[in-house]
Structure 1
Amino acid sequence: MKKYFAFYLLLILFFSSSFKVEAQYIAVMGALEQEIDLLLGEMEKQKKIQIGGIDFYKGKINGKKVVVLKAGVGKVNASYSTAVLTQNFGIDALIFTGVAGGLHPESLPGDIIIGDRLFQHDFGKFDQEGFEVTTYRELTGAHQTDLFIPSDSILVFKSKQAAQQVAFNALSGRNPNVFTGLIATGDMFVSSPEKAQWLFGEYGALAAEMEGAAVGHICRTLDIPFVVIRSCSDNANHDARVNFEQFVGPASINSSRLVLSILEDW
């Protein structure tokens, strides 16, 4: 009898380990250390894991299981980090947080942009007529021939609702405005009024940054809900680099505070 009991016990252990479901996480990603510092400070039961040269921080924030990481700057770093993340963690959703250059004429440092759509403003073709932005992937199938990459509508709604509960830092002598709309992604730090006007006037983009559309492309391909949240550190004009250095820290805090509010109401 003992022999049969041991046999069945081994079978139970084998099948329970074989069909073990990996814990699901809400992923929160930023490009810079400043963009995730506040979140790491709020994380409980923090555990650091390094995979593929990337530091992943697992734990709980506001009672929710999260994995937080710094992706690095630019579309390649963001894409690589997202690929490693999704290959090694079970992800229910992804929130990208950080700073951006504000493009709306009324935006000021500290303002929040919730991206309901994104596009790559430096992806296209250049000929005798000039530069033309083209669709981000010329393949058949859902979501793969669009110019704009839509964020998850539920996460956008959650972000807008959560923003109403946040006490943001007033960086420009007034309470920050919260905008919802298109975010432009490109492998360049925009510090040109002409480029900023082109992005806003031609496409209606509210912010320029360097990672969001790349992350969104991968998430849409893998059917992972995502949203990109940005806080303005500058206005993408001639003073952009000076303003960025001045406001990157406090603007990152505004974006992180919104993420904390989203997680609290999740």
Structure 2
Amino acid sequence: MRNHSGVILLAFVILVLGICRAYGAISAATTQEIEKVNEKGPYLGIIVPNMFEMNPLLQSPSFVADLKVPYLEYFGRRFRFGKVENEKVIIVMTGLGMLNSGITTQLLLTLFKLKGVLHYGIAGNADPQLQIGDVTVPQYWAHTGLWNWQRYGDGPNDELALESNGDYTREIGYLRFSKFQNGSENGKTVDNFLNNVWYQPEEIFPVNGVPEVRQHSFWVPVNKHYFDVAKRIEGMKFQRCVNSTCLPRSPKAVRVKSGSSSNTFVDNSAYREFLNSKFNVTPIDMESAAVALVCHQQHIPFIAIRALSDLAGGGSAVSNEADIFASLAAQNAVDASLRFIALLVPQLEFLHKAGSDS
């Protein structure tokens, strides 16, 4: 009888474990580790796209890893715990692109108790008035890779497919491909079968909204308080040389109006100029808007710091831009982020104390 009961119990355990694996449930052991971590929270989340951008932070004397729980691995992500400038932080790498960044940000916000999110990395530059190595802090981010690609033969005054359902809109604007072609016949511009792409806002579902009732968002603002704090890093001095190759001037930090993200590595001067003139974009990357959108829906304070590694599409006086200066830009982004955290911490402590006294 005991053997029979043991077999039944073993079968039940195997079944439960199988269900947990099949449905992605968090194991009991992982849940306990997360609970222990959250008892020490809340944390500032630091989200980084790639390892070469994260390594300068991990190697910095400003980062002190937690001795008891240095990291937790879950769903292909490694969440590192420690302190930066005496602020408790969780550092996580996303990987390339909008999907990876959105998933990682949502995991971070779902699993851990956070007070805010800092995202940093390198980016292409759409503003020729700035230089490689400069550090930018945009006030707004947009996902500029969500398009409605218009049927050939239709024009700006024609209704877009599914526009009447509210799925798409012409409010934001469009890119007309024929404006960027060289071909002509009999003195007239050759028609372009690619026609127009219309830029679209994201559908979002805020945590305090009605489930399955969408809202739309194109420009996502960073946290106002974080943006105010970032003004104080504008006087920083940054590295300007990689070995014997130096930039014309020392890089600077600057707050800018907007940045854009999409699943596209932009190395095209015509598209760079379009983004800058149409949307007043400075940094162009592949992750920030995804992080911004998730934080916006979850009402988590957010800011992104991006150092410029190249003038997208070329055209600067510096040759082999990204190949030479990506490491310098990554270090400048880390230096700016460390300074930002150092400035942010006393204010967070003051706000927390004021909230406790009220």
TM-score by length of 1: 0.86
1:162 aligns with 2:238: no
Unaligned runs of 5+ in 2: 1-34, 156-195, 242-246, 346-358
1:137 Cα deviation from its structure 2 partner: 1.6
Residue 45, structure 1, aligned to residue 123, structure 2: no
Q: CA deviation at 1:139?
A: 6.8
CA distance in 2: counterparts of 1:213 and 1:155, whole angstroms: 16
The CA deviation string for residues 140-194 of structure 1, in whole angstroms up to 9 with x for no partner, is 9699423201111111111221333x33112522122333220010101000001
**How far is the alpha carbon of 1:236 from its aligned partner?**
0.7
* DSSP 3-state at the match of 1:109: coil
How many correspondences in the alignment? 248
State the alpha-carbon separation in 2 of the partners of residues 116 and 187 from structure 1.
21
How do 1:11-160 and structure 2 match up within 5 A?
Answer: 21=39, 23-42=41-60, 43-46=63-66, 47-128=70-151, 129=155, 130-137=196-203, 144-160=215-231
Superposition TM-score, scaled by structure 2 size: 0.65
1:183 to 259, 273, 280: 259
User: Aligned partners of 2:115, 2:331: CA distance in 1, in Å?
Assistant: 24
Q: Which amino acid aligns with 1:233?
A: S
Rounded to whole Å, the distance in 2 between the matches of 1:138 and 1:99 is 26
SS in 2 for 1:217: helix
The counterpart of 2:292, out of the listed 206, 216, 229, is: 216
Cα deviation code 1:45-75 (max 9, x no counterpart): 3412211111111001111101111111100
Question: 2-side partners of 1:144 and 1:56: how far apart?
Answer: 31
Alpha-carbon distance in structure 1 between the residues aligned to 2:150 and 2:267:
24
How far, CA to CA, are the matches of 1:196 and 1:157 in structure 2? 28
Tell me, yes or no, if the aligned pair for 1:51 and 1:84 is still in contact at 8 Å: no
3-state DSSP of counterpart to 2:292? helix
Corresponding letter in the other structure for 2:46: V
- Going from structure 1 to structure 2, the CA distance change for 1:88 and 1:109 (only over 3 Å counts) comes to same
Partner SS, residue 206 of structure 1: strand
Residue 236 of structure 1 corresponds to which residue in structure 2? 312
Partner in structure 2 of residue 14 of structure 1: none
Q: Contact 1:163–1:261 (CA<8 Å) still a contact in 2? A: no
The change in CA–CA distance for 1:146 and 1:80 in structure 2 (over 3 A counts) is closer
Q: Counterparts of 2:204 and 2:92 in 1: how far apart (Å)?
A: 30
Displacement of 1:29 in angstroms is 1.1
| Segment drifting more, 22-31 vs 197-206 | 22-31
The one-letter amino acid paired with 1:206 is: T
- Secondary structure at 1:137's aligned position in 2? strand
**Amino acid in the other structure paired with 1:37:** N
- The amino acid of 2:331's aligned partner reads I
In 1, Cα distance between equivalents of 2:232 and 2:314: 34
2:273 is matched with 197
Whole-Å separation in 2 of the counterparts to 1:27 and 1:160 = 21
Identity of aligned residues (%): 20
Is 1:173 the equivalent of 2:248?
yes
Q: Any unmatched runs of 5+ in structure 1? A: 1-16
- Amino acid corresponding to residue 194 of structure 1 in structure 2: A
